[in-house]
Structure 1
Amino acid sequence: MPTAYEHYLVPVLFRPFAEDLAARAAVLHPRRILELASGTGVLTSALTRAAPLADVTATDLNEAMVAFGAARAPGAVWRQADAQRLPFPDGAFDLVVCQFGVMFFPDRAAAFTEVHRVLAPGGRFLFNTWGPLTTHSFAAALQAGLERAFPDDPPQFLPTVPHGYADPTQVASDLTAAGFAVEEGHELTLEGRAASVADVATGFLTGTPVRAAIDERSDGPAVQATVVEEMTTRLGRGPVTAPMTAYVFRAAA
């Protein structure tokens, strides 16, 4: 899964937002950065370039992602860690960043409280989260393909997890409850560019938990053909450019 995720999804979906988030981080002139849910390291690499004087510690719950990311972004110190129980002392960092990871935290209140604990007074928490599924052209087209392939029981991973924390008012409320002062929270739309919709479909269907849902239900190649056909109808053939919307938050401890 890390290989498919890195090859097919990172350049299209995640690199544009990683460059944006790293630039926002660099403006804060951090010296000690903790990254949560680092995945394969696309934001990690951007951070080490944008803030070369900072010490970057990258973490992920998944050991396979940690191993993959450590090889891809060796400029950071990599550790396996649960965001809800961070293995770091109080006030150890002046910036905590997270790209499209907070949606996956089972207990966001616990995770945000832990982030607040490991930040020095005045430190910042900088992260993004996807907007509603309808505002992400690639994901919406893929979900439509899944609903066509499984009209009675389509996989619900995309609308309920990656796009399931898409109410900025709720996000701000959760931050405040954890002791943060919300400094910034706004909508950001960037464009993703893919060589083909087939590449994006391959990434979602083999490099995310959607893969397990399909394996439980039906024949993978047949499903992929249906999904690609639906995505092509919606987004077109050949190289594809499509808008993707996220929310960016910055909060102070």
Structure 2
Amino acid sequence: MTASDKAFTGSIPQMYDELLVPLIFTPYAQDLARRIKTLRPRDVLETAAGTGVVTRALDAELPPEVRITATDLNEPMLAQAKTHLTDARRVAFQQADALALPFADASFDVVACQFGVMFLPDRVKGYAEARRVLRPGGRFVFNVWDRIEDNEFAHVVHETLQRVFPDNPPQFFTRTPHGYFDPLKIRADLSDAGFSDIVIEPLPHRSRAPSAREPAVAYCQGTPMRGEIEARGAPDLTTVTEAAANALRQRFGSGPVVGQIQSLVISAR
């Protein structure tokens, strides 16, 4: 992972929220919230909350007495998340580094993280921090993207970028979002951090958009991939986005598009 992989700045948080969240994140957020509800927690900590899709799902799913603390390293992403939950008094937002959580030991019953652990520079340390703030018997519930070949829109855009920039192709997708999917590695990292009773399961969904342009814009302009594209200078961001849209049209058609997405959902005690 590079420093630019965590650059959710400028217009990226808003575009991420408007395009990527409904495209790929919402069904997995709802899944995590339902799983967490069955654990009957009193206090839930969310790390890498981003623009708050899981936070909103937790607020909708959990009983009103449950306290939710949503954190992210990136303040612009949290600012976007807050716009959706201005009246949710039981939700507290706080900027925080998942590698050094500003909470006391044994403060939470559940720690949740949606598609965030791939961005941690030291995953075992991040997992150990999650374990530290969990109460005895508490659970860490999170998900990661499966391999890029099982996530069709992302795969088509990635392959397009390899063709557009043959001498220096951007690798953000395979390096970070889709770079941590080996169940054996995930299990080993969690074990090294002190977790047990580890369950890992694949969860496929179908991603839908009104046209091929929406996923092209979402991936090229609503993720840190944007920085990699812009750093290369030519062709420019608009041209690259249109190339991605054309590739998606060729694969999925010129009308509404549907593609496979798949994650791994992990729970550990």
TM-score by length of structure 2 reads 0.91
SS of the equivalent of 2:197 reads strand
Aligned match of 2:97:
82
- The within-5 A match list for 1:1-253 is 1-52=12-63, 53-74=65-86, 75=88, 76-217=91-232, 218=234, 219-252=236-269
Equivalent-residue separation in structure 2 for 1:250 and 1:22 (angstroms): 13
Map Cα deviations across residues 48-76 of structure 1 (whole Å, 9 max, x no partner).
11113310000000010111111213421
Answer yes or no: is the 8 Å Cα contact 1:175–1:182 preserved in 2: no
Answer yes or no: is the 8 Å Cα contact 2:29–2:114 preserved in 1: yes
Equivalent-residue separation in structure 2 for 1:121 and 1:191 (angstroms): 37
How far apart are residue 234 of structure 1 and its match?
A: 1.6
Equivalent-residue separation in structure 1 for 2:85 and 2:115 (angstroms): 18
Equivalent-residue separation in structure 2 for 1:56 and 1:13 (angstroms): 23
Equivalent AA in structure 2 for residue 223 of structure 1: V
Equivalent-residue separation in structure 1 for 2:251 and 2:144 (angstroms): 24
SS of the equivalent of 2:83 reads helix
Equivalent-residue separation in structure 2 for 1:203 and 1:122 (angstroms): 39
How far apart are residue 141 of structure 1 and its match?
A: 0.9
Map Cα deviations across residues 212-233 of structure 1 (whole Å, 9 max, x no partner).
1111112111111211111211
Answer yes or no: is the 8 Å Cα contact 2:187–2:198 preserved in 1: no
Equivalent AA in structure 2 for residue 48 of structure 1: D
Give unpaired runs (5+ residues) of structure 1: none
Equivalent AA in structure 1 for residue 66 of structure 2: A
Equivalent AA in structure 1 for residue 81 of structure 2: G
How far apart are residue 183 of structure 1 and its match?
A: 3.4
SS of the equivalent of 1:182 reads coil
SS of the equivalent of 1:158 reads helix
Give unpaired runs (5+ residues) of structure 2: 1-11
Map Cα deviations across residues 64-116 of structure 1 (whole Å, 9 max, x no partner).
01111112134210000000000000000000000000000001011000000
SS of the equivalent of 1:208 reads coil
SS of the equivalent of 1:72 reads coil
Q: Cα RMSD over matched residues?
A: 1.0
Q: Is 50-59 or 65-74 further displaced after alignment?
A: 65-74
Answer yes or no: is the 8 Å Cα contact 1:172–1:182 preserved in 2: no
Q: Percent identity?
A: 44
Answer yes or no: is the 8 Å Cα contact 2:51–2:77 preserved in 1: yes
Aligned residues: 252
